[in-house]
Structure 1
Amino acid sequence: MSEAISARTSRIGSVVTHAVLTVGAVLMIGPFLWQVLTALKSESEVTNVPPTFLPLEWVWDNFAEVFTSLPFGQQLVNSIIVAAACTIGQLAFCALGAYAFARLEFPGRGLLFALFLSVLMIPKQLLILPQYQIMSWLGLLNTLPALILPGVFSAFGTFLLRQFFMTIPKDLEEAAVLDGAGRFRIFYSVMLPLVKPALAALAVITMMHAWNDLLWPLVVNTDPATMPISAGLTSMQGQFRTNYPVLMAGSFMASIPMIVAYLALQRQFVQGIALSGVKG
């Protein structure tokens, strides 16, 4: 009798769990689906009251109009370059810094790491003015390096990778030292391959942040040819009129690269986030 009750309770729990997950999935997919359907409507239809869910007339020309409304292709390439450069830079610099904080013994390591993490408490908006002045002094305004340089360093990325490095047994390093490996060879050949999930997680987070960043590109780059796609799409919003179907079409196309990148690194991303707080 108890086994039957337990099995019934387990089935009910499974049904409830799947129902909650289904509702959550619908809520997450809903805005994205609405964006796609809006991109296929006419400009007059999006202002109908009550609104229509499916387009009364499927307007595919909205996607082509995006390329005539702004230099979409160039801005998309700019975003890809900026996201790739920021990701590679953070993986390199954060991995080196994290390994030093996790494995190297030097005076003031704890204090220096605490000061390093204190950067996370500073609102990003407070750094815009000094960063803008630096870019101006370097003559990098309206250039892609102005978008890339502030994004190649990350206190969060260093902390994330440090947590992973601390889970790796020191016996592996000692064995490598006995084999005659130097410090950099140990870092590159022994330690980095063991933190691939964390590197993948940091890569996804960095790519998404660089791709979606809006405030800094609007401040430092005013030339449409050097803007990323996030800043370029804002120019399609007018003071008195906005063509929402075309804007949604551009937003949908701009989101495709990040969706592909996340799907490619999904397993490593989830594993990296799940294990980042585990300390051996």
Structure 2
Amino acid sequence: MSKYSLSDARICNGVQQWWKRLRDSGMLLYVVLIVIALIYIMPFVIQVSTSFKTDADASMNPVSLVPQVWTTAAYSKLFLHSDFPLWFKNSLIVTLCVTVGRVFFDSLAGYALARLRFPGRNLIYLTLVAVMSVPGVALMIPKFLVIKSLGIYDTYAGMIFPLLVDAGGVFIMKNFFESIPRSVEEQAMVDRAGTFRIFWSIVLPMARPSIVTISILSFQGSWNELSHFIISTQSASMATLTRGVATLASGQLGQGNQYPLKLAAAAIMTVPVAILFFIFQKRIMNVTDGAVKG
């Protein structure tokens, strides 16, 4: 009995020492992070794997990571027998226009709120902050009515113009511009540079990190946008990837579950945003703190 108790005590002591070494070395944190990363990445891995399966294989083995028979039939059907290329083109046009527009207009508005002194400046800023707290769903009907009244419904203009300015982007740029020393602009004023020249040639290049951040966020947001395109377009020729992929869920291109087809479309849709994020990930992380100073 005493030997058994002594053995238990040694085991408990060994476990405690192992746990202490694991905790002190920081390995526990890495283990937890790896587990969380696997939880997040598994759905994407299953998505890509299923896109190379047959319909029957996807139905019988929905979470299997290795297809019984590898096939690219889903991708061939998407590009050759559907409007997927048209959806991709529309999404690319809208996303690029919105991204460029947001960078320009958010920067202009942010600089005006950070540096220019004019009546109602604080009220505009408070309104901007208030708009950030309003759910997008609450603005869908007013946005639809404005688009219809302007005569730009079911056009690229109706898809692009309402997205050209983003309250969050203005907020980021304003705070970044406020962190720039005024002495930089004062020196330019001595050289008789105008307000826009100072903004465009001196201040804006210094805000390159924040511009990169807004570019990535704008690209991701407009690329994944759905609700706005639902209320601003109607015809199939103006459908974007988000609308098109949503129609696949209703069985538009055939009978059956079509899991490989749907997940192939979703996988392709994920690629551009994923590439941008991995390329600029480090810069985004470094900029986030600097963009909200002040």
TM-score, structure 2 normalization: 0.86
Alignment equivalent of 2:276, drawn from 253, 258, 261: 261
Q: Give the counterpart letter for 2:286 in structure 1.
A: Q
2:15 is aligned to: none
Per-residue CA deviation, residues 77-126 of structure 1 (Å, 9 max, x unaligned), is 11111111111111111101100111112233212210122111222112
Aligned to 1:143: 155
2: CA distance, partners of 1:68 / 1:28: 32
RMSD value over aligned CA atoms?
2.1
Of 112, 117, 123 in structure 1, the residue corresponding to residue 124 of structure 2 is: 112
* Residues 66 and 247 in structure 1, CA contact (< 8 A), matched pair in contact too: no
Instruction: Report the Cα distance in structure 2 between the residues aligned to 1:151 and 1:256, rounded to whole angstroms.
Output: 22
Paired residue type of 1:257: P
Retained in 2: the 8 A contact 1:229–1:254? yes
Once residues 52 and 127 of structure 1 are traced to their aligned partners in structure 2, the CA distance between those partners, rounded to angstroms, is: 42
- Is 2:107 the counterpart of 1:100? no
Evaluate the alpha carbon distance shift between residue 242 and residue 104 of structure 1 in structure 2; reply closer, same or farther with a 3 A threshold. same
Structure 1 residues 35 and 50, CA gap change in structure 2 (3 angstroms): closer
Tell me, yes or no, if the aligned pair for 1:196 and 1:268 is still in contact at 8 Å. Answer: no
* Residue 216 of structure 2 corresponds to residue 204 of structure 1: yes
Q: Return the alpha-carbon distance in structure 2 between the equivalents of residues 50 and 263 of structure 1.
A: 28
What amino acid sits opposite 1:195 in the alignment? A
Superposition deviation, residue 11 in structure 1: 8.3
Aligned counterpart, 2:204: 192
- Counterpart of 1:227, as a letter, is A
> Which residue of structure 1 lines up, in the alignment, with residue 103 of structure 2?
91
Runs of 5+ unmatched residues, structure 1: 1-7
Is 1:65–2:74 an aligned residue pair? no
Q: Match for 1:247 among 262, 266, 270?
A: 262
Secondary structure class of the residue paired with 1:181: coil
Give the structure 1 partner of residue 234 of structure 2.
222
CA distance in 1, matches of 2:50, 2:117: 57
C-alpha contact (below 8 Å) 2:173/2:210 kept by paired residues = yes
Is 1:214–1:231's contact at 8 Å kept on the other side of the alignment?
yes
Q: Which moved more, 1:97-106 or 1:127-136?
A: 127-136
1:18, 1:52 → 2: CA distance?
A: 27
CA shift, 1:24, in A, is: 2.6
- In the alignment of these two chains, the number of paired residues is 273
Q: Percent identity?
A: 27
Query: What is the Cα deviation at residue 251 of structure 1?
Result: 1.0
Amino acid at match of 1:246: L
Q: Check 1:172–1:51 CA distance in 2 against 1; reply closer, same or farther (3 A cut).
A: closer
Structure 2 runs not aligned, ≥5 long: 1-19
The TM-score, its normalising length taken from structure 1, stands at 0.90
CA distance in 1 between counterparts of 2:123 and 2:225 reads 31
Verify the 8 A CA contact 2:55 2:257 in the aligned structure 1: no
Deviations 1:163-187 (A, max 9, x none): 1011101111111111221111111
Residue type of the partner of 2:110? A
* 1:154 CA displacement: 1.0
Give 1:229 shift: 0.6
